[in-house]
């Protein structure tokens, strides 16, 4: 079975998430599939399809996972996706922009963030501080799902993410595609510089890319940034 990237986090990071929503709302399916050469990603195949009708475009990516792309590459992705939409019967489809609500940090959230660290396996709440591999490092929970817990440390421009839980054995391929490596049984981690994107988009891409329902919802990364 061919491995595909979830197009949503990639196209959101590229700034065309609303266009993707409009395209899917008209019954079209969008897929982004890596084309490999010598075990490295050489190109990405972007495809917009509805039944037997489809339009596609290949993007060279020089062996780099699109999850680590910089601003210039994401702009390129947005332009190609927009042009590809125009080749379908959708043409210049009207896009409704979503209005983002500004979230405030509640007293309860501040209390959780300032609590003592625990092992990630023992964490029970969003933003709860947990131990990293280094005993002096501090991560914060950004996602809890059935059999899966994820924590992140955000020190601009660097983001480190840890994933633990019995469910990781079923997500090995997705974790590998997202740039994670398994250091020990049941523990996966990734360390990424996101100087050309934002920690919010990077963490969001990982959570969405895993394709599992999270009990904790979407984290507000500014709550843990720099802590």
Q: Is 206 exposed, middle or buried (0-12, 13-18, 19+ CB in 10 A)?
A: buried
Residues 66 and 152 occupy one common structural domain: no
Assess if residue 1 is contained within a domain. Answer: no
Assess if residue 115 is contained within a domain. Answer: yes
Residues 111 and 44 occupy one common structural domain: no
Domain end call among 86, 117, 142: 86
Q: Which residue has the higher pLDDT, 93 or 191?
A: 191
Domain end call among 20, 53, 86: 86
pLDDT score at 99: 41
Q: For position 24, which CATH number holds?
A: 3.30.720
Residues 131 and 212 occupy one common structural domain: yes
* Residue 185 pLDDT level (bands cut at 50, 70, 90): low
Q: Is 25 exposed, middle or buried (0-12, 13-18, 19+ CB in 10 A)?
A: exposed
pLDDT tens readout for residues 98-156:
444 444 556 788 899 999 999 999 999 999 999 988 878 899 999 999 999 999 999 88
Cα–Cα distances in angstroms (integers) from residue 209 to residues 5, 43, 113, 212, in the given order: 7, 19, 25, 8
Domain assignment of residue 50, given as a range: 7-86
Q: How far apart are CA 191 and CA 150, in angstroms?
A: 13
pTM: 0.57
In eight-state DSSP terms, residue 122 is G
pLDDT tens readout for residues 22-62:
888 889 999 988 887 666 666 888 999 988 888 888 887 65
Contact (CB, 8 A) for 56 and 80: no
Residues 120 and 209 occupy one common structural domain: yes
Cα–Cα distances in angstroms (integers) from residue 200 to residues 61, 133, 206, in the given order: 23, 23, 10
**Domains contained in the chain, number:** 2
């Amino acid at each position: 079975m061919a491995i595909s990237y979830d197009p949503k986090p990639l196209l959101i990071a590229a700034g065309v998430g609303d266009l993707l929503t409009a395209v899917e709302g008209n019954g079209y399916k969008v897929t982004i599939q890596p084309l490999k050469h010598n075990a490295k990603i050489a190109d990405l195949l972007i495809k917009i399809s509805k039944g037997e009708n489809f339009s596609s475009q290949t993007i060279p990516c020089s062996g780099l996972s699109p999850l680590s792309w910089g601003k210039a590459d994401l702009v390129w992705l947005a332009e190609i996706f927009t042009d590809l939409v125009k080749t379908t019967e959708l043409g210049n489809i009207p896009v409704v922009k979503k209005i983002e609500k500004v979230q405030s940090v509640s007293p309860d959230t501040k209390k959780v963030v300032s609590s003592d660290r625990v092992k990630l396996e023992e964490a029970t709440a969003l933003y709860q501080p947990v131990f990293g591999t280094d005993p002096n490092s501090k991560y914060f929970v950004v996602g809890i799902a059935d059999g899966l817990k994820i924590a992140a440390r955000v020190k601009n421009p660097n983001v480190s993410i840890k994933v633990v839980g019995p469910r990781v054995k079923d997500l090995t391929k997705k974790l590998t595609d997202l740039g994670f490596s398994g250091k020990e049984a049941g523990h996966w981690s990734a360390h990424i510089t996101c100087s050309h994107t934002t920690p919010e988009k990077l963490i969001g891409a990982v959570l969405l890319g895993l394709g599992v329902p999270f009990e904790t919802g979407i984290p507000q990364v500014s709550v843990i940034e720099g802590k």
